Each structure stands twice: as C-alpha cells, then as structure tokens.
Amino acid sequence: MSSRSNKILTLTLAALLPSLALSQKSQLDTPPALYLGAAWYPEQWPESRWDADLTLMEQAHIRFARIGEFAWSSMEPTEGTYDWTWLDHAIAAAAKHHIAIVLGTPSATPPAWLTQKYPETLRYESDGKRAEHGDRQQGSFISPKYRELCRDIAERMAKRYGHNPNVIGWQLDNEISSEDYGPVARTAFQGWVKDRYKTLDALNARWTTSYWSEAYTDWSQIPIQEKYGNPGLLLSWKRFVSDTWRAYDRNQIDVIRPNIPSNVWITTNTMGWFDGYDHYTVSKDLDMSAWDDYVGRGHLNPASNGFAHDLTRGFLRKNFWVMETQPGFVNWQSDNTALDKGEVRAMAWHAIGHGADAVEYWQWRSALNGQEELHGTLVGSDGTPVPLYPEVAQLGAEFAKAGPALAGTSPHSEVAILQDYDSRWAINWQRHNQAFDPQTQLVSYYKPLREVAQSIDVVSDTALLASYKLVVAPGLAVLTDEAASNLMQYVKNGGHLVLGQRSAMKDGDNSLQTKRAPGPLADLLGGRVEQWYAIQSADQARPGDIPPVTGTWGTTTSKIWAEQLSTSSSDTEVLMRYGKSNGYLDGQPAAITRKLGKGRITYIGAWMDDATLLNAARWMAQISGVTAALGPVPEGVEVYPREGAGKKVFILVNFATTPQSVTLPSAMQSILDGKQVTTLSLDQYGVAILQAK
C-alpha cells in the first residue's frame, strides 16, 4: 500500500472513529508499575471545566481515571439515540494529560426511559417489592431483556473505544450485589437445581426433605430462601446467585473481549469481605481482580483490611487493583469520621504491600447534587484542592519513584489460609452462638500468622496447595469431596494442614457429615470432635462456664466455642487440654496433632485469645519450617514483601501510634530517599520501601 493510500485509510478511520487518536502514543506502551487513579465523572461537568480538573490530576501524578460506570443516560439519552461526543472528548482530554482511562460499563444505572419502557428489567427485592428508578442497581441480573440491553450498550462502547490507545482496561458494572427474587429468578433457580440434582429423589435425599414434610414432588415447588430455610436449599440459592452473576458479567465480556487488544483487561470492582456470592466463581472469566477498599468509620484495621486485600489477590492468585478507596472519609456510615493526616498514604502503601498495583480515589470531585454530596473528595465543590490533595500528590510522586523497583513483583507466601464462601454462609445461617462470626474467626488466625510469617496467601479450598509449607483452614465448615481430597493430598505430599474449630462438620450439600468432624479428614487426624459447646459470653458467665485451656501454647480460656476432641491413634498428640468447666470438657483434648511422614495435620477445637493464638502460630511456623520474610520488627510495624523479576522489595508501614525503630537483617536500598540503610525510624504512618541487594 502506498503511503498516500495509507494516509487516506488513516484519515478515513479517524473520521469513522473520532475517539481513536491514531497518532497518539498508547498509554499501554509504557504503563507505570503502580497506578494512582481517581474516579472522574466528566458527564457531571461542563467540558470547559475538564482541563482544569485534568491539570490538577496530572499535578498529583494521577495516571488513570475511571469513567463511564454510571453514565448510561448520558451515553443513550433516549432509546437508540447515542451521544458519544462527550466521552470521545473526555478520553482525548485525559490523554493530553497522560491520564489513561478505565472504562466502566453503565449497567448499574439504567436510564429512566429504559425501565419505564421495559419494566420487566427491574428486579424484585426479597420482600416482593419491585425496585424503582432513582437509586442504582435496579436492573435485574437475570432478566433476558435487561441482559440484551446491557450487552448492547457494552458492545457499542467496546466497538467505539476498544482500540482507543488511551483505554487500558474495562470495569464491568459496579459492585454487583443486588439479586432479583422475582418469578424469572425463581424459575431459573428451579432449573439450576434440576441441572445439579437431576432427579427429585436425589434432591429430596440430599436435602433430607423428609424433615418437616419438605419433600418436593415437582421442581416448580422449590422456593427461594436466603436466611432461614433448609440448609441445602440455602446453599443452592447462593450457588445459583454466584453462577448468575458470573453469567451476567459474561454477557458483557463476550461482546467486549473481541473488540479489545489482548493487553487490555476486564475486571469488576468487588467489595472485600462481602459474601453475597462466591467470588471464586465470579472471577473465573475476569483478567484481573479489583476491590473497593473503604474503612468507613474509625481507622484502618491492618489485619482485617489486609485479609481483604489477600482475599482479593487470591481470587485469581495474582496482583489486583484497588479500584476505589476513600479520600479521607465516606458519607454512608452513621459517623463518617476522617482518617488521620498521613493515614490515607499509609493505607495506600498497605494496599501495594498486599499486592495491589493501583489505588484509585473515589471520587475526584462531588457532584453538586445527588446522593453522595458529602463524601470525601480530592477537590472541593469549588474545584480547588482539599487539604488531603497534597498527601495524595506525594503518594503519586512516590508511586512514580518506587515503580521501577516494584515492577514485576508480587507477594509470595509460605503460608495459606483457606477461605470458603460455602462455609461462611453455612456458619452464618446456623451460628449456634451469635458471637461466632466467621470473619472474626478467620482474622483471629490470620493476624498472628501474618505477624509470624509477614506474608499470607488467602485461597480457596480447591486451590493448588503444593507450594505452601503451612495451610490453615480456620472454619472450613463445609467440606466438599473435591476439597477433602485436595487437603488429604496436601498432607500426604508433606504439607502441614491446621484445621480450626467447626471444620468439616458439613458436606457439599450443607448436610451434616455422617462421620464426626472433621468428617473425611478424621482418619488422617487420628482423632475427632466428640461434641461442640457454645460458650457463654464473659459478662453473663457463671464460674466454670468458660473452659480454661492449657498446654503447649500456654494457659488461656476458650471463648465463644469449645470442641471436646478425642484421639483414636497412638501417634496423635494432645497439644492443649481443657481444665475444669462443664464436666464434659474437663481434662479433654482441645488441640491435637499427628505427624504423617513428612506431613502433619492439626486440629484446634478451642477459640483462644490473641496471645495464645500467637504462640500457636509460632509453633505452627516452627514445626512447618516457615520463617519471617524479613525478620523481627517492633509491634505495630507491618512488613510486606514483594518479589519477582530478580528483585526482593519490602514495604514497611508503622501503624503504631508512636515512632518505631527497625533494625534490618542486612543493608538495603531505601527507595524513597535513595539511602543505604541498616536501621530506620518510622513515625506513626511512616512508610519505607526497601530493596534487598
């Protein structure tokens, strides 16, 4: 082709796709290792304002803006009439400021004309009321018409912007979470159950429907229940919801993927601990995981928040993005207290330490009206920076500086914690003791293990476990056959599996196992749970209600829950025993362990306090050959190792309220100040990025 015809083709293409700036260098050519971003809503502001906003963003080293995710009525003001001009211009304007774009599909906010004309697209709430226009997430995740309309708008966006050199990634919808409980969902659920169980006889047997005359004689009799109901039905509904959200996302992925280059990713923003669906299922078709990290009220809890980061990293077992976080404070809590000066920056480095490659602030500037007027922002309603802006700008400069050291690195752990949605749901439906919160139980193990190992992976119970020296399953109440054989294999291959209280009581249908807990793992353990007891809270307990526990890890009590264990094999050792309490527990095993060749399995039946669990974590590490990634640091200082591409980098953040001194095992390069250091002092919220030689 001659250069002239080349030019004509270029001009023609450029005219056809005005947003495709062919001469512009792609943001994808030189992506920064760490991205700082902001949620920007150009549709809420006159175009004449955009340059001022983008200039301020660029000055803060903001390298991407996420746009579009709530803008359906601006893209398609009336049915079949599209206005892409503003979006073309916004993407191009951002590019001029070296700000890349993450494009959100707008399916969380269908326009009024849409739901008015197609009321079948509106979802039903669980109380039978129909959602209305005026809030968001009113669309049904299963309505065929809604799927068709979502697919159409996503495809139009993908065709127009899929190859725009400034669009680096796609976010599907926004925080998918509101199910539909209407007739369409119910029929689909019945079909899903039929696919899974094949015959009503099988379903009736596996759900034990002879109980309370629940037996079904026709698939159409099966109801939707989500809080109190047959445990097999409850679990099936959640699994159906998970599959339906996956299909909901897939509906858009299928039209976006063919229209984007292979280095452009598709994600959706999830919500950390939120358990409305199984995130391992929903993540299967995504290229990257992302979550919205909000503290809400109070201050950052590094353990619980760190768990949520590691959980998100575990969905696809690779680095992820923090797609939203609070610039200081939110608006949706009862008390929307602000993070301290310095805490926003510390929180961002905490995220990077856990494997995030981007942190985005929600939002850049408040809409002048709308439900979230009082939320934290980076610029005020007058369009000038708020007091937090310089801190975020400093962070942006630091991202740029530390990017080369962190490029190609990710956290690598010797220890995994197993997190399982089936189990969290099953425990929550039948807590047995209201204080038994699966989230608290997970963190009770995560916190001391992180302190000891300084890096933890959080993965599903069917993940490949061979690389871990230690695998801890705090509350794996539901153990499917697949997970059971995965865990048995792990122990047989030389791993150390630790089960926490309530493990493997249930099978994959949420039925009680026909063997005492830990069900299929009891033979391997050479021991079992004889009985479980809910424990009275300290303020209501009589003397003797709270069992003392003593042994290898020290002396404490068992709160919330206590399992009376027994051993059936001569080589199963007792690590901890109960003291005198309810009579049954007196003198009985509270924690047992058995060595099997190079492997080991341990069961902990008591819910012990933090200090004793820290001793337990030290014992687990020592016996499994797990070592701290960096070495000892003062309390309150967190260490986050990232390695890869021939580099080993440690991020340190001081969450203690006083300055702390750290002595390093060897001299390291301090990336932010360019010095060689062997000791360092960190103020409260102080951060150091250290590259090992």
User: Which residues are part of the catalytic machinery?
Assistant: 175, 324
CB 140 within 8 A of CB 185: yes
What are the distances in angstroms from CA 243 to CA 248, 277, 424? Answer: 9, 9, 18
CB of 427 to ligand GAL, least distance (A): 25
Residue 374 CA to residue 276 CA, distance in Å, equals 27
CB of 134 to ligand GAL, least distance (A): 15
Q: Which stretch binds ligand GAL (CB under 6 A): 257-265, 304-312, 324-332, 386-394?
A: 324-332
Tokens representing residue 325 in the block: 């976080």
Residue with tokens 């919160």: 437
CB of 42 to ligand GAL, least distance (A): 15
CB of 371 to ligand GAL, least distance (A): 8
CB of 375 to ligand GAL, least distance (A): 5
Tokens representing residue 170 in the block: 């796609």
Tokens representing residue 336 in the block: 């929307």
90's CB contacts (< 8 A; 6+ apart) are: 40, 42, 43, 50, 67
CB of 386 to ligand GAL, least distance (A): 16
Q: What stretches of 119-209 show up as alpha helix (H) in DSSP?
A: 144-161, 183-197, 200-206
214, 372, 523, 545: which one contacts ligand GAL (CB under 6 A)? 372
Single-letter code of the amino acid located at 500: G
**For ligand GAL, the closer CB: 370 or 494:** 370
CB of 174 to ligand GAL, least distance (A): 5
Asked if the bond preceding 632 is cis, omega within 30° of 0, the reply is no
Q: Kindly identify the residues of this chain, within the stretch 277-296, that bind ligand GAL according to CB under 6 A.
A: 292, 294
Residue 274 engages ligand GAL in binding (rule: CB under 6 A): no
Residue 238 engages ligand GAL in binding (rule: CB under 6 A): no
Residue 174 engages ligand GAL in binding (rule: CB under 6 A): yes
Residue 502 CA to residue 604 CA, distance in Å, equals 9
Residue 175 engages ligand GAL in binding (rule: CB under 6 A): yes
Residue 364 engages ligand GAL in binding (rule: CB under 6 A): no
Residue 375 engages ligand GAL in binding (rule: CB under 6 A): yes
What are the distances in angstroms from CA 311 to CA 183, 272, 286, 356, 639? Answer: 34, 7, 16, 12, 18
CB of 331 to ligand GAL, least distance (A): 7
Say if residue 205 is exposed, middle or buried (CB neighbours under 10 Å; 0-12, 13-18, 19+). middle
CB of 269 to ligand GAL, least distance (A): 6
C-alpha 218: how far from its chain's center? 38
**For ligand GAL, the closer CB: 82 or 294:** 294
CB 140 within 8 A of CB 176: no
**For ligand GAL, the closer CB: 103 or 682:** 103
Q: Helix (H, G, I), strand (E, B), or coil: what is residue 295?
A: coil
CB 178 within 8 A of CB 124: no
Here's the x/- map for ligand GAL, 472-491, by CB under 6 A: it reads as --------------------
Residue 389 CA to residue 488 CA, distance in Å, equals 52
Tokens representing residue 142 in the block: 């299963």
**For ligand GAL, the closer CB: 64 or 237:** 64
Cβ atoms within 10 Å, residue 107: 27
**For ligand GAL, the closer CB: 347 or 504:** 347
Residue 628 CA to residue 476 CA, distance in Å, equals 26
CB of 353 to ligand GAL, least distance (A): 23
Residue 273 engages ligand GAL in binding (rule: CB under 6 A): no
Question: Helix-strand-coil percent breakdown of the chain, rounded to 5?
Answer: 35, 25, 45
**For ligand GAL, the closer CB: 175 or 509:** 175
CB 627 within 8 A of CB 643: no
**For ligand GAL, the closer CB: 178 or 209:** 178
Q: Helix (H, G, I), strand (E, B), or coil: what is residue 27?
A: coil
**For ligand GAL, the closer CB: 281 or 366:** 366
Look at the chain and count its residues: 693
Residue 310 engages ligand GAL in binding (rule: CB under 6 A): no
β-pairing, 660-670 with 647-654? Answer: unpaired
**For ligand GAL, the closer CB: 171 or 259:** 171
Cβ atoms within 10 Å, residue 525: 27
**For ligand GAL, the closer CB: 27 or 174:** 174
CB of 173 to ligand GAL, least distance (A): 10
CB of 552 to ligand GAL, least distance (A): 44
Q: Helix (H, G, I), strand (E, B), or coil: what is residue 418?
A: strand
Residue 623 CA to residue 470 CA, distance in Å, equals 9
Residue 596 CA to residue 493 CA, distance in Å, equals 10
308, 330, 664, 682: which one contacts ligand GAL (CB under 6 A)? 330
The residue count for binding ligand GAL (CB under 6 A) is: 10
**For ligand GAL, the closer CB: 174 or 501:** 174
**244 closest CA partner among 314, 323, 181:** 181
Single-letter code of the amino acid located at 596: L
**For ligand GAL, the closer CB: 351 or 668:** 351
Residue 661 CA to residue 675 CA, distance in Å, equals 16
Single-letter code of the amino acid located at 646: G
179, 287, 324, 509: which one contacts ligand GAL (CB under 6 A)? 324
Point out which residues pair with 293 in neighbouring strands. Answer: 325
Residue 362 engages ligand GAL in binding (rule: CB under 6 A): yes
CB 651 within 8 A of CB 349: yes
Q: Contact positions toward ligand GAL, by CB under 6 A?
A: 174-175, 292, 294, 324, 330, 332, 362, 372, 375
